[in-house]
A and B are shown apart, each in its own frame.
Chain A
Amino acid sequence: MAGNPAFGSYIRKLREKRKLTDPSFSLRRFAETIGISPTFLSKIETGELDPPAPARIKKMAELLEVNADDLLILADKFDPELKEIIKDQPKAMADFLRTARDVNLSEEGLRKITEQIRKLKH
C-alpha cells in the first residue's frame, strides 16, 4: 500500500483540532466510531497506509463536518452510491452521463444544468 499523506494529514489536522474540546475525537474513540482500529487510523494519518473504504470516509466527513465528496476526491475514491444510482436507471442514466460528457460541458455548465433539474423538483 502506497499511502496518501495529503488525505492523512488533512484528517489528522481536523481531528486534532476537534479533540481539544471533544474527547470523542481522540484517536481511539474516533477510530472506534468509524469502525477501524486505532493503529489503522494512525497509519492512515501518517500517510503510511491508504485511506479506508468509501463508506468509512463518508462517516469521517460527517463527524468532521466536511463535504463527503471533497474527502472522497482527496482519498482518490469513488462513492459506491453512484453505482447504485446508475443501476436504478441503467439505460437512461448512462445515456444522461455520456451525453453530458460528449458535449464537453464545463464544471460551470454542469452546475447550471444541475440547478435547473433541482428546480424541477419543486
Chain B
Amino acid sequence: MNVRYMPHAHIDGAAISLLNAYGRQQGQITHPPVPADEIMECHLRLSLLFDDLRKKFDDPSVLGAMRVDRREVLIDQSLDPYGNPSLKGRYRFTIAHEIGHWILHREQFEMALSAPLLDSEKGPSIICRSSHKKPRIELQADRFAAYLLMPVEMVRAQWEIVTGSREPYVAEKEIRDLAERYRLAESEQRPTVEVAKRMAETFEVSGQAMQIRLVELNLILTKQPPRTLFG
C-alpha cells in the first residue's frame, strides 16, 4: 500500500499523544521501559497472537503482521520473550511498529477494505518484513516505534542519569576503535558504543535502535564537532 509522506514531527506527535492517552487511563509513564504490549492490548484493545509467521509466509524476514479488521497483531514466535529473552528489544520494537501501523495507517486500510472494487482479503492486511529496502509505510512505522519506546524527554532525562551531564558524547573514536576491532567495513552498520548499550538495557530496546535514537537527538556525535571561533 502506498502512503503519503508524513513529517517526522507528525509521527512524533502521534506517539506522544498515545503515551499521554495511555497515561490518563493507566497512570503516566515516567520511567523507561515504555510498556509497549500493554499499550497495545489494554489501551488500544488489540489482540496479540504469536505464530510461526516465517513459516506461514515462507519468508524468514516476516516478524510481524496485522489484521486490521480483526484488531489482531501477529508476532513471529521467534521473538517470544519467554523463549528468547535476548530478543526482548526486537520483540518490543516489533510490537511498537505494529502499533504505529494501527495509529498511522489504520484508516487507509479500513477504506481499502470497504472499497467495493477490492476483494476482501482473508490474510493479514499488513505483513512486516525486516529488509534493507523498506517501503515508506514500513519506515513510518519504524519511526513511530522509536518515538514511542524512546520518547525524547525520557531519553534526555535518562541520559543525564547515565552520563551525569546533559552534554553530548563524541563517539567518533570509540566507533572507529570498535569498527577496527570487529573489522567492520565502512559501509556496514555502526558498532554500538557502550553508553548506547547501557541506555538500551533501561529502555529495553536493542543497542542499535538506542544508538540511532541518541545520534538523532545529537546526544551521541559520530564526528568531532568543528571548533567554533570562540570554542
Q: B-contacting residues of A (Cβ < 8 Å)?
A: 12, 16, 19-23, 26-28, 31-32, 37-39, 42-43, 45-46
Rounded to whole angstroms, the CA-CA distance of A31 and B49 in the bound complex is 12
Rounded to whole angstroms, the CA-CA distance of A39 and B1 in the bound complex is 29
Given A23-B26, A23-B35, A42-B50, decide whether A28 and B81 contact each other with a Cβ distance below 8 A: yes
Residues of B within 8 A of A45 (CB): 49
Count of B residues near A, CB < 8 Å?
Answer: 17
Report yes or no: A46 in contact with B49, Cβ–Cβ below 8 A.
yes
Q: Which residues of B from 1 to 50 have beta carbons under 8 Å from A?
A: 26, 35, 37-38, 41-42, 45, 47-50
Given A19-B42, A23-B38, A28-B37, decide whether A38 and B51 contact each other with a Cβ distance below 8 A: no
Q: Is the interface of B mostly helix, strand, loop or mixed?
A: mixed
Instruction: Identify 16 new A-B residue pairs, CB closer than 8 A, beyond the known A16-B47, A23-B41, A42-B49.
Output: A12-B47, A21-B42, A23-B26, A23-B35, A23-B42, A26-B38, A26-B48, A28-B37, A37-B80, A37-B82, A37-B83, A38-B81, A38-B82, A42-B48, A45-B49, A46-B49
Residues of A within 8 A of B47 (CB): 12, 16
Rounded to whole angstroms, the CA-CA distance of A39 and B52 in the bound complex is 9
The answer to whether B158 has its CB under 8 Å from any CB of chain A is: no
Report yes or no: A27 in contact with B80, Cβ–Cβ below 8 A.
no
Report yes or no: A39 in contact with B37, Cβ–Cβ below 8 A.
no
Rounded to whole angstroms, the CA-CA distance of A23 and B45 in the bound complex is 11
Q: Report the nearest B residue to A46, measured CB to CB.
A: B49
The answer to whether B77 has its CB under 8 Å from any CB of chain A is: yes
Residues of A within 8 A of B42 (CB): 19-23, 26
Residues of B within 8 A of A12 (CB): 47
Most central of B35, B51, B80, B82 by chain A CB within 10 Å: B82
Residues of B within 8 A of A26 (CB): 37-38, 41-42, 48
Report yes or no: A39 in contact with B38, Cβ–Cβ below 8 A.
no
Rounded to whole angstroms, the CA-CA distance of A39 and B80 in the bound complex is 7
Report yes or no: A39 in contact with B35, Cβ–Cβ below 8 A.
no
Report yes or no: A39 in contact with B41, Cβ–Cβ below 8 A.
no
Of the residues A19, A38, A46, contact of B80 by C-beta under 8 Å: A38
Given A23-B35, A32-B82, decide whether A38 and B50 contact each other with a Cβ distance below 8 A: yes
